[in-house]
Amino acid sequence: MGVTLLAVLVAAVLLAAVSRRLDVSAPLALVVAGLAASNIPGFDRVELDPDLVLFVILPPLLWSAGLESSYVNMRRRAGAIGMLAVGMPLITTLAVGFVAYRVVPEFTLAAALTLGAIIAPPDAVSATAVGRRLGLPRRVMTLLGGESLLNDATALTAYKVALAAAIGASTGWKSGLGTFVVAAAGGVVVGVLAGLTITFVRSRLADPLVESAIGLLAPFVVYLVAEEAHTSGVLAVVIAALMIGQRTTTHAGYATRLQDDAVWRALQFILESFAFLLIGLQLPGVVHQLSDFSPARIAIAAAAVLGTTIAVRVVWVYAFAYLRSPRPAAGETFVVAWAGMRGVVSLAAAFGVPMTTLSGEAFPGRDQLVFLTFVVVVGTLLLHGLTLPWVIRRCGVQGEDARADALAQAAAQDKAARAAADRLDELLESPDTSMQDSAAEVLRRWNTARRNAAWERLGRSEEELGQSPATVFRGLRLEMLAAERAVFIAERDAGNIDDEVLREVLRGLDLEEATLNR
C-alpha cells in the first residue's frame, strides 16, 4: 500500500505541474484524472485513510493558508466571514440533514445530520486559485479565504456532536451544544497559546534553519495537542498560523522569511495535488458498497442532497447580502454564492464514520452516507470548477487591485526612500563616519533608482515602459550577475574552489537576482 500511495503522490505532482503549464484548474484536472485512473488495476484499491487527511494533510494546508492570510483584512470583514464560516455550515448541516432524513429511509435523524455536517464546509482552495488567476477583487478573495480557514472548524465540531448522537455516545442535543461551545473556545485558547509560544521561541533562536524546522512541525503538534484536549484542532491551527503570519514581519529575519515562503509553497502544492487526486480514486470503493440498493432511489437521494447543498449556499449568501449595508455588487454576490466546492475534508470525515454504533448495531445508512458525500464533493468540484471562470468573467468581477497595489507600493517606496536618504545624510554628518564620498554617491544613486522604479512601472507593462533608467539598470545588472555566476561555476569545475564555496557565493547572487526580478 505504501508503494501505491507513493505512486499516487508522484502522479499527483506531475499532473498538477502539467495543469499549471497548460493554465487549467489543477484541482479539477486531478479529480477527473483520479476518476479515470480508478479503473486501472492497482489504483482501484486506494482507500482514503481519514487519519491521513485529518492529521497529515489538513494541518499543514490550514497552516500555510493562515500564514498567507491578512489578519487586518479578515478583521475588517469579520462579520461577513463569520456568517460564511460559522452560520453557513450550521444552516447547511440542518437543511441537508432534514432533506437526507426524508429521502434516505435508512437514516436516523442523527445520522442525517452527520451527513449534513460532513458536506457543510466548502473547500475554497480551488475557488481562490481561480479567483487569483482571473483577478477577483481582494474583498472577495478575503471572504473566500477567511471562510475556507474557519468553516472546517465549525463543520468538524458539528460533525463530532452529530456523530456522537448517532452512535449513542451523547445524551442529548443540549449536551452536544455544550460540547460545541467548549471545543470552539478551547481551540481558540490553544491556538493563541501556541502562536505566542512559537513566536517567542523562534524570535530567540536567530537560526533560519531551525526556525523553519519548528514552523514545519508546528501545525502537526498544535493540531494534535488541541484534539487530545478535546477541542477544535482546526481552529487552533488557524489561530496560531494567523498570529505567526502577522508577527513574522517583525519577529523573523529575511532569511527565515525567504526560506519559509519557498518551503510552504512547495509543501502546499504537493499536499493539495495529492488530496484532489485521492478524491477521484475513491469511486470504485464507494460504488461497490451500493450494489444492494436501487439505482433509481440512490439517484433521487443524490440529486436531492446535491441540489440542497448548492441551493442553501445561494440563498444564504443572497439573504445575508441583502441585509448588509452597503450591499455588495450583484456580480460579487453571485460569485461568492457559486464558489461552494467541497473537498477532501468532507470525504475524510465520511470515511471516518464507524461501521457500528456503541450498541454493536450497524451504523444507520453508512454506505449511503459515504456515497452521497462523494457525489456532493465530485459534483460541486465539476459543476463549479468548470463554470466558475465563466461566471467570474460574465459577472465582470475583475478588480482594480493590481493598479491600486502598484500605487500604494510606489507611494510607500517613495516614503521609504526618503527615510533612507535622510538616514544616509545623518550618517555622513556624524564625526565617526569614515565613509568615502564616492561610496555615498553610489548609495544615493541606488536609492534614487529604487524610488523611481516603483513610479515608472505603475500600472504599465515592460513594453509600455520601454527603456526606462530602472529597466536599463536591471537588465545590465542581470547580465553582470550571469557573467559572475558563469565564472564561479567554471572555477569550481576547474577545481579552484569547492562546492561549498560555490553554493555560498551563488546564494548571494541568487538573492540579488531575486530582488531584481521581484
347, three cell numbers: 470525504
Averaged pLDDT for residues 360-386: 88
Position with higher pLDDT, 504 vs 373: 373
To the nearest 5 percent, what fractions of the chain are helix, strand and coil?
80, 0, 20
Greatest Cα pair distance, the chain, in angstroms, is: 91
| 329, pLDDT greater than 50 | yes
Q: What is the rounded average pLDDT for all residues in the chain? A: 80
* Mean pLDDT on 54-62: 86
Cis peptide before 326 (omega within 30 of 0): yes
Report the candidate in 383, 297, 316, 364 with the shortest Cα–Cα distance to residue 95.
Answer: 316
| Three cell numbers written together for 228 | 487530545
The candidate with the shortest Cα–Cα distance to 305, out of 108, 156, 99, 106, is: 99
Cα distance between residue 427 and residue 151, in whole Å: 52
In total, the chain counts a number of residues equal to: 518
Q: At residue 364, does pLDDT exceed 80?
A: yes
DSSP state of 517: T
Q: Which residues contact 66 (CB under 8 A, 6 or more apart)?
A: 149, 237, 238, 239, 240, 241, 242, 244, 245
Phi first, then psi, for residue 362 (nearest 5°) are -65, 140
Percent of the chain with pLDDT over 70: 82
SS3 356: strand
Average pLDDT over residues 106-115: 92
Position 502, amino acid: L
Confidence of residue 161 (pLDDT cuts 50, 70, 90): confident
**The one-letter amino acid at 236:** A
Q: What letter does residue 54 receive in the DSSP assignment?
A: I
Give the residue, 173 or 78, on which the prediction is more confident.
78
| Neighbouring C-alpha atoms within 13 Å toward the C-beta of 6 | 3
pLDDT digits (tens, 9 = 90+) for 374-393: 899 889 888 887 888 888 88
Do 307 and 63 form a contact (C-beta atoms < 8 A)? no
Q: How many CB atoms lie within 10 A of CB 262?
A: 11
Per-residue pLDDT tens over the stretch 399-449: 555 556 556 656 666 677 677 777 767 766 765 555 566 666 766 776 776
* pLDDT, tens digit, 9 for 90 and up, residues 27-45: 778 888 888 887 777 676 7
List, in sequence order, every residue forming a beta bridge with 356; answer none if it has no partner.
362
| Region at 436 (left for phi over 0; alpha for psi -120 to 50; beta for the rest) | beta
pTM of the predicted protein model: 0.76
Residue 301: strand pairing partners: none
Q: What's the mean pLDDT in 282-311?
A: 85
- Which amino acid is present at 129? A
Q: Which of 364, 357, 374 has the alpha carbon at shortest distance from 284?
A: 374
Cα 482 to Cα 112: distance, rounded to the nearest angstrom: 63
More confident residue, 179 or 363: 363
Give the integer Cα–Cα distance in Å for 49 and 509: 44
Q: Which residues pair with 256 in a beta bridge?
A: none
Picking from 455, 449, 462, 447, the residue whose alpha carbon sits closest to that of residue 407 is 455
Q: Which residues pair with 362 in a beta bridge?
A: 356
